[in-house]
Amino acid sequence: MPGVKHSRQRDALLNNLRLRYDHPTAEELYMSLKSEMPNISLGTIYRNLNLLSDDGTILKISDGGVDHFDAHTHEHYHMLCTECKHVYDVDMPVIEGLNEQAQKYVNGTVNAHFLLFNGVCENCQNKK
């Protein structure tokens, strides 16, 4: 790829993200990577998260608060706990043909869809 160079930092970021299932924020990834790379910069995290999510290597989850990231890019859905703001996977079957269905109701082109459930997670329920 012309104009793109390897970097240890980007490799470490992607590796770290691929090993986890907790949809971390940029800040959380920064904390985690600092143990193996004490000099890594938060700007580097953001720059690479944007690179990787722009080319589809990872997923950016936006729910109105802080962005979360996911390296598991098979199509799947998420739930945001409105109490603790954690993001969970919802491993239900994907809805087939949904983009095509929406296409009928839209002037323009539908390319993707994002389905986010809101709720309260088990942990937060037990706290009451």
Partner DNA sequence: AGTAATAATGATAATCATTACTATTATTAT
Partner DNA sequence: ATAATAATAGTAATGATTATCATTATTACT
Q: Which of residues 50-79 bind DNA (CB under 7 A)?
A: 50, 66-67
**Is 46 a residue that touches DNA (CB under 7 A)?**
yes
- 56: which residues sit within 8 A by CB, 6+ positions away? 73
Work out the number of other CB atoms within 10 angstroms of the CB of residue 7: 13
Closer Cβ to DNA, 60 or 76, answer by number: 60
Q: For the purposes of burial, counting CB atoms within 10 Å of the CB of 70, is it exposed (0-12), middle (13-18) or buried (19 or more)?
A: buried
Which sign, positive or negative, has the C-alpha torsion 98, 64, 69, 87? negative
By beta-carbon proximity to DNA, the closer residue of 4 and 106 is 4
- In the complex, which residues of this chain contact its own copies (CB under 8 A)? 60, 62-64, 67, 77, 79, 81-82, 88, 90-92, 95, 99, 101-102, 104-125
Give the interface with DNA as residue ranges (CB under 7 A): 3-10, 25-27, 37, 39-44, 46-48, 50, 66-67
